Structure formats: structure tokens, C-alpha cells
Structure 1
Amino acid sequence: MVDAVVSVFLGNLLKALSEESRILVEFRDQFEKLQSELLLMQGFLKDADRLKRKQQVLRTIMVNLRELIFEAEDILADCQLQSRDNDPFSAGWFMCIYPKKLPFQYQTGKRLKEINEKIIEIKKNIGPYLGVSILNQPDQNDLFPRWSSPVYDHTQVVGLEGDKRKIKDWVFNADEGILGIGVVGMGGLGKTTIAHEVFNDREVEVHFERRMWVSVSQTFTEEQIMRSMLRNLGDASSGDDRGELLRKINQYLIGKRYLIVMDDVWSEDVAWWQRILEGLPKGNGSTVIITSRNEKVVRKMGVKEDKIHWPKCLSGSDSWLLFRKIAFAASGGECTFHELENIGKEIVVKCKGLPLAIKVVGGMMLCKPPRYHEWKRISDHFRNELAENDDSESGLRATLQLSYDELPSYLKSCFLCFSIFPEDCVIGKDQLVRWWIGEGFVPLRGGRSTTEAGEDCFSGLTNRCLIEVVDKTYNGTIYNCTIHDMVRDLVLKVAEDDAFYNENGSSCRHLGIQNDLGPKHLIANQKLRALLSTNKTAEVNKIASSMAKKVHESRYLRVLDVSRSIFEASLSGILNQIGSLQHLTYLSLSNTHPLIQLPPSLEKISHLQILDVSYCQNLKMLPSYIVTFKKLKVLDVSHCGSLECLPKGLGRLSNLEVLLGFRPARCSQLEGCRIGELRNLTKLRTLGLQITQADEIGDNEVNALINLQELQYLSMSCFDSHGSDLITKVDKLFPPQQLHELCLKFYPGKMSPMWLNPISLPFLKFLSISSGDIAEMNQRFWGDVNTVWKIEALMLESLSYLGVEWLMVQRVMPSLRVVNVSWCPELGSFPVDDFGFRGGVWKKEEHRS
């Protein structure tokens, strides 16, 4: 991924040369020469990255180039540290009279000159292998993505209706024992999708009193399987032994009809399953569905031959339909470019009916401009790759490799980040996007904010079907994801080849924190750029003190995420050394215990862009030095129950784009940040606000939000509020007009806020109201003859007193396409037949073409 490495470095260098040129006075000529050479090479680096798989000499050349670029990036970072704004001897001839700077100045200049000479030599050597001019320009598609947001429904399924019906018939005709059903086939055939379709079917949900979905990785343990089953049953047991875990499962299931899905079982040693099966209650027509690539596995797990289902590849018509739904999603799945139809059908034929291959290729074509020559180039490239990979599974791997090759360079770096996560791991979007921002993978252009650009990168991978959606909000926003195991195989291979990550943790630049991570993985690893918590959902890491202390020796570390971790030694003692990581840009201490305060040494990390201390229930205060972090873009202090307010002066953080968990200071909290300071945060896109007392909003502060013109998302919570006068203050706290999404929680008034109306919020698309005492909507909420809401998705949850009529909602929200309602007993005439009932939620989804 040398093209990705070069792309990231050039972005950082361009920013340094333009915004902080003062720090590069001594080395500006060398850096500009390096920039010029790399810009000339950038046009053919993508081809070189692809061809190096077949040319060992070219591979060696590209490895050398990659290492030179990383070294140049480290030098650039050191230059930035050497020239702090508060150092009067930071640049120019002042270095000559400041002796401590002389060794750095000499060595840096000498090494930059050597790097430039080696890159010029590489440029000469690389041309003959490519057969192209090195003056090619970069692909403009890399610079401007065609789609920067999801444009199709990821839940759509094509051609599996018969498979689903067959398995449902088996399920509903189960006898009094435990029915075993097997779904067997090669990777990418849709086994998991079929199981999901059955598992989430409305009739199946009603039929079973308990349902459990367990993803069985290749490195599972029996305890992990049972804990996963218990989590499905609402029990987060962690410290019990196997016998106790199995007894708990039995107690939850006894007398109940239950469904268990064991997804993607590999091992033929199924002794673990026999022990679990013996402990499960029998009877009531309970069912176990097992998906596997190996027929022997499901047979050993007790599935009879007549209950093994072998999914078939999609038919030609279904293959073309699935491809159209994705590749032409912007036009409702219809191919409006007739010159592309024949090429598209040629591409689909090469996918041989494999759903995963069709989805990935369809996603790739969705992101390509609809031009004949571009589609023809992809088709020819596809044909050449498949010529060497004739069988279906090899063809699928070639398809995935093609999709990776065609990624824009900046997305290659983002995509390889999935390599550090364990198999079947559910990965949070926020963690990914913040990592990408922290390490500089996110390209900034067109005036877009950093966090918005990061979300664009996530959408870029989603639209290409390289990410599988796990969880979405009521309005369709993805917040948890995973990747298919075949996609993961590709990611691991590329990541190891390019020293991005390898599973033994040696000499790579990125590591995931798991319980087996020890000091040996960190010793002398000066290359390390990112160290992140990668534990699975509901699990915590136990980090040895010896390992934690080694982290501070990785001086070029940019990203440190130790969320959901327990430390053997004192957490404060470990954090006291964190100031040595002066290149750090992203720090997450989320859900670490017992974090009571941030260490003084953190003040030294002047380049910090993202700080996440969410879910730290014992955190009592943030230090005042936080307000000096001028580059801070994300500050997340949500769900910190002991935190009373944030430090005074927070309004100085003019680059802040995301602020979650903001609690305004009361009049008596003189050193706390008042809500009025938010007026200065003009780049704020996302705000999570918690208000509990009336004196948290002064009479002259009710306009604190109205002029935040970049604000898109506002969450306002009045949990544990006191005093009826708070309602009056909140009613005057008008959000900005251009607000895109509003979440109102625990509002204490009987009537909705005055500003919650289509005139005050004319651009609002998503509205969520949950908990609280609201019994009726203010008359202004209903608009008038000429004014209606533009709301597309509405969620009402746990509103015991709210009584509104569906016809009124329908009239004032004509654009409404998603309704999610739960535990609102006073709602009137909501259309049960149209919406359907699932899990206590009335929900209707109408996806526009």
C-alpha cells in the first residue's frame, strides 16, 4: 500500500509547509524536493502496488520506498516538536546560537538529503517494471469520491427466499426434542445471511421464547461460547466457571422453546458442543441452526442428513438483480446507462453466482463514474485476474483483491485497520473514524470538517460492501460493523505484506490490545504508530503493568486506545508517563477503571486532536490545561456520572467539532465552563448537552446555541433534573435552524418545548424523543397549512403520558419513512397492520428508490 503511505505523508507535508512553515525553515528545501519527487511518482504507485505481487524485485523496491516515506514522516513530526510556538529559539539562524538544536539540525538535514537521493534512484529503477511514464497524474477518482454517504439499503437480500422458506418449514415442524439444522457451503455463498433471515423473521421471533446468536470464531473457547449465549439472554456473567455458566443457561431456557444459531463453526473437534448440548433443556420443539463450510462439522454436531441445507449459487437473473440494486443504487437499482448494461452483465457472469462477490463488485462499480471506458477497464482487469483463478473460491479471492486494488489510496489505509481486530469482532464506527483521524488517514479537502471527512471514509468502505452492518440507529446511521471472514483473510494478508499488522505482533506499526498482548510485542518497536483495544463486545482487557510501561517507549505512537481495560498496576502511575508520547493525537481512556483524574504529564501532548474519557464513572474533574489543546477536535466525556462540569475556558477550543457529555457549570461553580462559552465553538458539528438545574442557563445565555451554524446533531438530556423553572429556561434555549438531528431525553415538561416546531427547525430530518413527562405536543409542533416537517425518521420511546394521534403525525410529517415507537401506551390509532410489531417496537421502513 505504498500509494496509501505516500498519500498520507504528502497530506501531512502539505499541511506543515502551508500552515507551519516557520518550523521548517532549516529543511524547507529538502522537504519541498521530497514533495516534488513523490508527486511525480504518485500517478503510477497504484499500479506498482498491484504488480509487486508478481514481481519480487519490484516488491523489494516498494518495501524500501515505503520505509523511506515512514522515516521522512517521523522526521517531519520531530521537526514539529522541535519548534514549539513558545520556544523563541525555534527557527532560522537562532538555531546557530542554541547549541542543543545543532545535533538535531545537522542529522536531520543530512538524513533528508539521503532520503531524497534514494527516492530519485528508486524512481529510475521502478519505470522498466511498469512500462509507463513516471509523469502520470494521480487518478482523480482518488481525490473526489463519487459517494460520501450510504446510498443503498444494506439489509436487502436477493434470491434466498426459497432457502429461508425451507428452513422455516423445518423449524415449525420440529418434534419435542432439539432439532438440529445445518447450512453448509463455501465462503461467500450466503450461509450467514440465510441464518440471519430466519433468525430475524417475524414468525420465527413469535414462535420462540428465547433466541441466541453465537459467532463461533476459529480461536473460540468453550467459556466464550457460553458467555455469548448468556449475553443473548441478558446476562453479562464474566467470572463463573464452565459448570456454573452452563447451569445459568439451563435456568434461563428451562420450560422455554428456544432457537440457537451457531454461526461459522470450523473445528471438527466438537466435544465442547456435546458438553453444552447435554446441559440444555430438551423438548418444546427447540432448534439449533449450525452454519459451516464443512459438512463433517454439522454431522458431528448432531445434524441428520435430511436436515442439511446446501445453498446454491444465485441464478443469472438474481445475480443481475443483486448487482443492479447495488451498482445502480442511486437510480433505484435501474441501469439508466444503457452502454454499461452489457459490461455489467459480463462482470456479473464472472462472479459465478456468489453473493459476496456480486456485492463487492457491485459496490466497487457504484463508486466508479458511469463511463464506458472505466467499466471496460475494470472488466478487462477482472478477466485477467480470473484467468489465473479458475475455481469459485479462488475467483472470490481474486474479486476481493480487485476491489482492494481499486480503492482510492486513502481508503486502503482505512481498510487495513480492520486487520488488528479478532475474528467476528463487532467494531464501533467511532473508534475506527477517530483512529483514522488520529493517524492522518483522512484526507481534508473542499472545506469539509475532519470528522465529516472521516465519516465519508467509513461510507466509502460501506458503499463498496467491504463492511458488514451490525447495528444501526432508528434513522439508519451505522454505529457497529464487522467484516466477512473472507474479506478478513484478504485484509490480514495485505496488512502482513505491507508491515501494517501481523498476528505475531513483530515489526509492525499497528497492534491490537488483547489479553495475550505482552511486553515482547512492544520491546524496541520504534515503528509502532497505533495501539488500540480490540476486545470483543462485553469483554474487558486485563493489561499487565510491565506491558503498559513499555508503551511509553514507542515514541512515534500517534494513537493510543486502552478503552474497556483493567490494569494490574495503578492506572494513575502508568498514565504519569504519558507525556513522553508527544506525537500522540488520539487518546481513549473510555471505560477504564478506576480513572479518577487525568495526569499532569498529559499537558505536554500539544498535538492531541481526540480525547475520549467516556464511561469513566469515577472521573471527578478535567484538568484546566485541557483548554490549551488548540488542535482538539473531539472531546467525549459522556456517561461520566461523577463529573460535575468542564473547566472554564473551554470556549477557546475553536477547532472543536464534537463535544459529548457537556455539563454547564452552575453559578456556584466559578471554575467551571458556562453554557455561554459554547457560542465560541463555531465549528461544532455534534453536541451532547446535559442540563439538570435552571441556574446552568443564565438569562443572557439562552442564545448560546442559536448561532452554531455548523451544528448538525444535538442531544439534550435533562436526566435527574430539579426545579420547574428549568423548563422555562430550556424553552428559551433555541437550537440553530439548520439542525439535522435532535435527540430529546428526559424532558421534564408536560408539553414539548416551544422551539420544537417546523418553523424553528425547518431542516430537521431525524427526531428522537425518549423518557420524560411529555404528555402533549405544543400547538406549534403541528405547524400550519403552509408549514410541515421535513422529518424522515421518528423515534418515540418510553413516553408513558404522550397521547398523539397517528393521523396528526402523518399530516404534519409527509416525508416520514421510518417510525420506531416503543413503550408509549397512550398513542392513538397508530397503524398496527402497516407497521408490524417486533420486540416491543412498532416500526415501518419504506426505502425510497
Structure 2
Amino acid sequence: MVDAVVTVFLEKLLGALSEESRIFSEFRDHFETLQNELLLMQSFLKDAGRLKRKNQTVRSIMANLRELIYQAEDILADCQLHSSDDVPISSGWLMCIYPSRLRFQYQTGKSLGEINKKIANIKQNISSYLGVPLLSQLEPIDAQNELMPRWSSPVYDHTQVVGLEGDANKLKQWLFEANNDILSIGVVGMGGLGKTTIAQKVFNDRSVEEHFERRIWVSVSQTFTEEQIMRSMLRNLGDASVGDDKGELMKKIHEYLLGKRYLIVMDDVWSLDVTWWLRIYEGLPKGNGSSIIITTRIEEVAQKMRVKEERLHWPKCLNRDDSWLLFRNVAFAASGGECMHSELEDVGKEIVEKCKGLPLAIKAVGGIMLCKPLRYHEWRRIANHFRDELAENDNSVMASLQLSYDELPSYLKSCFLCLSLYPEDCIITKDQLVHWWIGEGFIPLRNGRSAVEAGEDCFSGLTNRCLLEVVDKTYHGTISACKVHDMVRDVVITMAEDDAFFKPDDTNCRHLGITTSTVQKANHKLRALLSTTKTAEVNKISSNSGTKFCQSQYLRVMDLSRSIFDTPLSSILNQIGFLQHLTYLSVSNTHPLVQLPHSLEKLSNLQILDASYCQNLKILPSCIVTFKKLRVFDVSHCGSLKYLPKGLGRLSNLEVLLGFKPAKSSQLEGCRIAELRNLIRLRRLGLQLTCSDEIGDTEVNVLVNLQELQHLSISCFDSHGDDLITKLDKLFPPQQLHELSLKFYPGKMSPIWLNPISLPMLRYLSISSGNLAKMNERFWGDDNSVWKIEGLMLESLSDLQEEWVKVQHVMPSLRVVTVSWCPELVSFPIEDIGFRGGVWK
């Protein structure tokens, strides 16, 4: 990963040197020397990185280089912190007034000089070790390969399944034949064979959904407890029980399933000790044709879990034709799965043959090729690299995953290693990953590009390479949550430990995940501390550990979301001012957080502040409006928050603002909606409106000139008064808006600006709850204008009386439709039928 560490540091150094800060005038020569040395080394760092897996000497050299880069990055951060102070640092008699500055300059200059000498020696050692002939053959970094493609959404459709239809049909036939007792089915095979994919295809099949009254999916990790399994089953049944013991939990499960035909999937069971399952099994109601599917790599596990021999299914590897079809679907996803280059077909088939019919291996190597140029020599190089990996490791899945890591652009290697912190089967939100990457500077930013957009592209870069599994999507298909396949997780943990990115149970590492009760020692190397709990779980943190977190002076990322502290969180946050390098802070869903402390005012580097889902949060400190670097500010779902502080319009770098509650005219300390005019970089905005007093007569045009705004959400929950409807009718969004969400809209008629002429670029529209009964006449456009909407969601609109056929007529580009609880919607089809290649939900 050293090439990734160097790339991240050079990106930060380039930005710092371009700032022309006063502090850098003292150290510019040192930093420029360091920059030049690292630029010269970049061309062979990747090759040395591969070699270090096989050679201890190179491993040691690279480890030393990595530590030196981290030290240099900390020095750079300190320099930037000092340069932002108001105290003069010029030479001369002022130094006697500020002796601490003199000491800082002396120590910094000395440290940088020593680092430069050591890096020069390392460069010489690597050159000597690799040999001049080998160095001369090394190609310079492929600039095109390192550039970030603008893939804001996945190119490859992860819902596609190839070659497993026969397996799924066999399992469905068994399920429909079940009558008495409980039918147990086992799906057994090696890792990467597609066992989980087959079970998912069956579980989500419409006929299976209609056949079973209750369906439960449980991912069984290698480290689980019987209680965790029961709680997971109950969550599937809509019960988030917290305080019950195992006996009460099993009793609840029995009551929910009694008299019902149910299907339970126990996915990826490893343990040969199945006493936990036998106890659960005995507590399940019998009969009614209920069934259980167990996926495992070990036949004996399935047998011990009461699967009979005749109900064991062994999926086979994909045949040659299906293997090539799956590879094509991934590698050529940008052209609809068609290979348009005949010279690449032979190389592609050679690569596919080495995958031995294992779907995970095929998708991983296909993902590599999707992100590579369609050039013969590049494909040949990848084929040769794959051959070399297989020579070292005959497991085609692990070899393909190692190849995928090696071929990642440098900026994506750091992003990928972040996955090592999450426990097995943990659901990971896209927002947390993107915010982490932004906070630690893993994402290259060029030409003033949006940090959030660049982060989302990095996320798509990993999903397109099939290194992330899709767990949840929005109604129009944008991925919002993911997880990591256990074999991918094995690779990423190995790489993270090898590169000292993260080591489980190592409290002296630079990245730490909070999963349960975390005992934290003071760790001055720590860069990132994140909540990595599984769904519906919380962190239990002692005040002593919480205090220790605030002693890690180089911490960039602190995510304390879903945490419970044994003392009020504010007592810990009062010490947060010590973390002056902090760029990302999340206290989302921490209770009972009533207010953020004024110690936050020292966090001048803060770029992301997430206080969402803090229902008791009543007040925000005024210092927030001084965070000039703030890009993301989220206070959504904070029901007790009355308004945001006055002066928010100064945050000119803000890209995401969620939960904006404008102040009323009587709330003089609050931010009025007019200040939004100044936030010209906003890409995503969430408005909370309840009364007309929050929008002045001269403020109704605040959104029109926000030219970067793409996503707008307006919620009028608990609103009152017809005057608000009148104001909303004048609150015209900008024409380039891409996605619009209206929640609890108070009017009977849709707003006048909701029409294809005012919003010609709108692609996704969601309207949920509220009083909407009819669409304004302008909604239907005219002979020269129709909607370009591709995704539509209508939900809980009990009064909506429009004709569905009419809606379809003005939205010819519809691909995805989600409609629920709209009983008066005339002629909406009840049956699940396709249209124009789209999907009904």
C-alpha cells in the first residue's frame, strides 16, 4: 500500500504548496525536495509493493518508507495548523515574543531534513536491491489508469444472475413440495461458488414470496452467539427487541411464526457445534409446509443441522458458455455486455478459463477489465499477471481478488483497505465510507471538483470491480448500503495487517473500529476512529475510553454514531477541541445529546459534521458558521432542533446541507432561508418547513440560482396554515435539478413549478404522505414538452385521484415505479407486469 500512502501525501503536499502560506516559506525547500524524491520513486513503488509479499527485505524497506511518509504528513498537518493562526511567524524581533514559534520552526526543519535523508537512502536501497536492469524496464505510471472515471452510479447491474437458474428452480421445487414437519435444505460447496446468490434468488422470487407468509434471512458469521441469531430473526419479523433473555426471544419467535408457513435461510454456517441451532429448531412451530435453507462450505454442518441426504444440493461450477457470458456482462457492462473488440475476445476467454467456473473469481477479474482501457496490450498484461498469481496461489478466487487489489489505482487502495475495520456481515452505509475517505484525504480533488461527487465515484469504482456487495438501494437504484463478501474480507484484512493500516486487537494502529465495549489506550498514531457496529446494535463506551479518544492529537476522523456512553456525551465532547486536525465528526444517533459543546470552535479543519437522528438536540453552537472548510452538514431527523445558527450563509464550501430548518422572523439568533442564496456549491439540500413565517416575501427565490443543486428534499411535517402553500408555490427550484422529494406536502394541488418546462432535467421524483389530491394543469406539460423522469415513487397519498395511464403518457422514459398506499389512483395495475424494460414495485 506504500504507493497509496505516497499518492495521498503528494496530493496533500501539492495543495499545501499551492496555498503560498507564510509557514511554508520556512520549509518550502524541504517539502519540495521531499516531493521530488517521492515523484521519482512512484514509478517503481507499485512493483516493489508486489515484490514485498515475497521478500522480507523489501517488506522492511517499504515499511520504513511508509512510516516516514506518515511522519511527514503529520508535520505537514502541523504546518497548516500553524499557518492558519493569526499570530505572526515572520523572522526578526517578533520571535522573542513568540518563542514557541521559534521552537516549532527549528524542530520542524530538523525533522524534515532527517526524513529527506532517510528517504534518499531508501530510494538508493530499493534501486540497488531491484537492480538497475530491472529498474530500467519499469514503465512510468499510466496516467490514464490513475485518473478517476466519472462513474456516479454502478455500470454493472449486480442483480444479474448467470448460470444458476437450474439450481434455483431445483430448490423452489423442493420448497413447494414440503408438507408436514419442517423441510431442511442444504446448499453445500466451496467459497465463491454462488451458494448465497442461489439462496437469494430463491428467497426473493415472487412465487416463493407469495407461497410463504413469513420469510427470515440470517447471515451467520464465524463469530456469533445464539442470542444474536435470535435477535436477527426477530428483526426480520419487525421486532427490535432489546432487553429480553434467550428464552423470551425464542418465545416471541414462536408466537410470530405459529400457524404460518415460513421460510428461514441460515446463510454461510461454519461451526460444527450446532447445539445453538438445535435449540432454536426445537422452538420453531412445525407443519404448514415451512422450510429452512442452510448454506455452508461443510457438508457435515448441513447434516448436523438435520438436512437429509436427498435434500443436499451441490452447485456445480459454471460451464464455459455461462462463464464467458458472466464475464462479458461485467467486463463489457459499459456496452451492454457485448464484446466490440474481437482482438480482446481470445484474451478474455483465456482469463475466464483460469477462473475455473467460479462466479466470484469471474466477477472479480471481469471488474478489473471493466475499469481498464480496451487495449490488447493492457489485457495481455492482466492475463499474464493473473497467471503469475495462480502460480503462487492455485485458488482462483483468492488469486483474482489479489489481482484486483494490485490493479487498483493508488487512491482506491486506501479506500479499499478501509473495509478491513468492519466485522463479518456488517452492513456498511455508503455515506460513512465516503465521509471517511474525504476526511482522511484519500480522494484526489482536482480543478475544484466536488469532494462528495469524487467520493461517490470512488464508491462506484469499488462496486464496479465487484469488491462490494449491494445490500440496499434507493427507490431509483442508487446504492445506499453494502457489505463485503467473506473471501474479499479475508484479502482486505491480510493486506491491511501487512501494511499496518489496521490490525484487530491492536490499540496502537492508525485506524480503529468500535464494535462493542472498546477499551482505548492513548494512541498518538491514530488517524481514524469509527463506529462499525452491525445493524440495530449500539456501542457501549466508558467515559474513560471516550476521554482517551480525545488524546489522539492526529485524529482526522471520529465517528461515534450509534453509541451509548456511561456519562453524558457532552462531557467527552468538551475535550474535543484538542483534536485540531479533525476533519470528520459524527455523533449521529447518539442519545441523549442535547447540545454540541462550544469546544467545537477550535476545529477549524472540520469538513463533515453529522448530528443526524439526535432527537433531543435542541441547540447548535454559533461557532459552526466559522467552519469555512465545511462540506457536509447533516442535522436531519433532529425533531427538537428549532433552527440553525445565523450566519450559515458564510459556509461557501458547503456541498450537502440536510435538515435545514429556517428561523422564524421572531427568532433573531437563527438562520433565515435567504442565506441559502450564498451557498452556491450546494449539490444536495434538505428543507424542513412548517409555517409561512419561515419564508419571507423576498426570500421565495432563494433556490433559483443554486446552479450546482441536484438533489432537493422538502418536508412539511407538522405544517399548518394555507399561507405556507402559497409560499411553497413560489419557491422555484433551479432548472438543472436532478432529483426531487416532497414529503408531507400540505396542499391539495401540486406546486405550480412541478412541471416538465420548469424542471426539464428532473430524472427522479418522490412524493410521499401529505394532502395531495390533484396535479396542477402544468404538470401534464404540452405538445412540445414531456417529463424525462426515469424513476417515480408515490407513497401514502390517500387522496390522490389522478389516472395512472395519464401519468405514464407524460413520462415516456419511466424505468422504475414504486407505488404504495395510493388507493384512489385510478387504473394503476395491481399485477406485477413489465413495461418498456422497466420494473414495477
Shorter-chain TM-score tier: over 0.9
CA shift at 1:600, angstroms? 1.4
Paired residues for 1:290-329 under 5 Å: 290-329=294-333
1:132 counterpart residue number: 135
CA shift at 1:140, angstroms? 1.2
CA shift at 1:844, angstroms? 8.7
2:544 counterpart residue number: 546
Paired residues for 1:377-776 under 5 Å: 377-390=381-394, 394-519=395-520, 522-523=521-522, 525-776=523-774
Q: CA RMSD in A?
A: 1.5
Q: Distance in 2 between matches of 1:168 and 1:562?
A: 43
Q: What secondary structure does 2:745 align onto? A: coil
For the structure 1 residues 12 and 134, does the alpha-carbon distance in structure 2 shift closer, same or farther, using more than 3 Å as the test? Answer: farther
- Stretches of structure 1 that go unaligned for 5 or more consecutive residues are 837-842
Paired residues for 1:113-124 under 5 Å: 113-124=113-124
Output the amino acid matched with 1:654: S
Tell me the alpha carbon deviations over residues 232-283 of structure 1, each in whole angstroms, 9 at most, x when there is no partner.
0000001110001001111111111111100000000001001111111111
Output the amino acid matched with 1:483: V
Paired residues for 1:245-260 under 5 Å: 245-260=249-264
8 Å contact from structure 1 (residues 127, 134) kept in 2: no
Tell me the alpha carbon deviations over residues 698-732 of structure 1, each in whole angstroms, 9 at most, x when there is no partner.
00000100000000100011111010111000000
For the structure 1 residues 59 and 68, does the alpha-carbon distance in structure 2 shift closer, same or farther, using more than 3 Å as the test? Answer: same
Output the amino acid matched with 1:126: I
Paired residues for 1:205-244 under 5 Å: 205-244=209-248
1:846 to 826, 838, 841: 838
Q: Which runs of 4+ in 1 moved over 4 A?
A: 90-97
Tell me the alpha carbon deviations over residues 67-99 of structure 1, each in whole angstroms, 9 at most, x when there is no partner.
000000001111112222422336788546521
Output the amino acid matched with 1:310: W
Q: Distance in 2 between matches of 1:468 and 1:69?
A: 32
Output the amino acid matched with 1:441: F
Output the amino acid matched with 1:334: E
Q: What secondary structure does 1:22 align onto? A: coil
Output the amino acid matched with 2:406: D
- Stretches of structure 2 that go unaligned for 5 or more consecutive residues are none
8 Å contact from structure 1 (residues 22, 91) kept in 2: no
Output the amino acid matched with 2:335: S
Q: Distance in 1 between matches of 2:552 and 2:478?
A: 36
Output the amino acid matched with 1:259: L
Tell me the alpha carbon deviations over residues 7-53 of structure 1, each in whole angstroms, 9 at most, x when there is no partner.
11011111111125322121111001101111111122111111110
Tell me the alpha carbon deviations over residues 138-189 of structure 1, each in whole angstroms, 9 at most, x when there is no partner.
2213432345231121110000000000000100001210110000111110
8 Å contact from structure 1 (residues 818, 845) kept in 2: no
Tell me the alpha carbon deviations over residues 550-574 of structure 1, each in whole angstroms, 9 at most, x when there is no partner.
1111111000000000001221111
Q: What secondary structure does 2:696 align onto? A: coil
Tell me the alpha carbon deviations over residues 650-679 of structure 1, each in whole angstroms, 9 at most, x when there is no partner.
000000000000011111111100000000
Tell me the alpha carbon deviations over residues 387-409 of structure 1, each in whole angstroms, 9 at most, x when there is no partner.
2333xxx2211110000000000
8 Å contact from structure 1 (residues 82, 90) kept in 2: no
CA shift at 1:832, angstroms? 3.9
Matched, 1:148 2:151: yes
2:792 counterpart residue number: 794
Q: Distance in 2 between matches of 1:113 and 1:490?
A: 37
1:374 counterpart residue number: 378
Q: Distance in 2 between matches of 1:286 and 1:609?
A: 52
Matched, 1:29 2:29: yes
Q: What secondary structure does 1:700 align onto? A: coil
1:181 counterpart residue number: 185
Q: What secondary structure does 1:325 align onto? A: helix
Tell me the alpha carbon deviations over residues 413-447 of structure 1, each in whole angstroms, 9 at most, x when there is no partner.
00010100000000000000000000000110243
For the structure 1 residues 93 and 35, does the alpha-carbon distance in structure 2 shift closer, same or farther, using more than 3 Å as the test? Answer: farther
8 Å contact from structure 2 (residues 611, 635) kept in 1: yes
Q: Distance in 2 between matches of 1:620 and 1:477?
A: 32
1:274 counterpart residue number: 278
Q: Distance in 1 between matches of 2:413 and 2:114?
A: 28
User: What fraction of aligned residue pairs are identical, expressed as a percent?
Assistant: 74
CA shift at 1:830, angstroms? 2.5
Q: What secondary structure does 1:771 align onto? A: strand
8 Å contact from structure 1 (residues 415, 461) kept in 2: yes
1:361 counterpart residue number: 365
Output the amino acid matched with 1:228: S
For the structure 1 residues 91 and 739, does the alpha-carbon distance in structure 2 shift closer, same or farther, using more than 3 Å as the test? Answer: farther
Output the amino acid matched with 1:63: A
For the structure 1 residues 61 and 309, does the alpha-carbon distance in structure 2 shift closer, same or farther, using more than 3 Å as the test? Answer: same
Q: Distance in 2 between matches of 1:344 and 1:514?
A: 42
Paired residues for 1:102-121 under 5 Å: 102-121=102-121
1:840 counterpart residue number: none
Segment drifting more, 498-507 vs 262-271? 498-507
Q: What secondary structure does 2:23 align onto? A: helix
CA shift at 1:599, angstroms? 0.9
CA shift at 1:834, angstroms? 5.3
Matched, 1:265 2:269: yes
Matched, 1:289 2:290: no
Tell me the alpha carbon deviations over residues 113-156 of structure 1, each in whole angstroms, 9 at most, x when there is no partner.
01001111111111244411499532213432345231121110
8 Å contact from structure 2 (residues 622, 645) kept in 1: yes
Q: Distance in 1 between matches of 2:608 and 2:788?
A: 33
Output the amino acid matched with 2:366: G
2:818 to 817, 820, 823: 820
Structure 1 length-normalised TM: 0.97
Segment drifting more, 458-467 vs 801-810? 801-810
1:839 counterpart residue number: none
CA shift at 1:479, angstroms? 0.5
Structure 2 length-normalised TM: 0.98
8 Å contact from structure 2 (residues 654, 682) kept in 1: yes
Tell me the alpha carbon deviations over residues 541-597 of structure 1, each in whole angstroms, 9 at most, x when there is no partner.
111112111111111100000000000122111111110111100000000011111
8 Å contact from structure 1 (residues 327, 333) kept in 2: yes
8 Å contact from structure 1 (residues 23, 91) kept in 2: no
For the structure 1 residues 91 and 645, does the alpha-carbon distance in structure 2 shift closer, same or farther, using more than 3 Å as the test? Answer: farther
For the structure 1 residues 669 and 350, does the alpha-carbon distance in structure 2 shift closer, same or farther, using more than 3 Å as the test? Answer: same
Q: Distance in 1 between matches of 2:100 and 2:656?
A: 39
8 Å contact from structure 2 (residues 22, 89) kept in 1: no
8 Å contact from structure 1 (residues 40, 136) kept in 2: no
Q: How many pairs were matched up? A: 835
Output the amino acid matched with 2:433: L
Q: What secondary structure does 2:713 align onto? A: strand
For the structure 1 residues 631 and 232, does the alpha-carbon distance in structure 2 shift closer, same or farther, using more than 3 Å as the test? Answer: same
Q: Distance in 2 between matches of 1:386 and 1:135?
A: 22
Q: What secondary structure does 1:26 align onto? A: helix
Q: Distance in 2 between matches of 1:281 and 1:321?
A: 43
Q: Distance in 2 between matches of 1:90 and 1:636?
A: 39
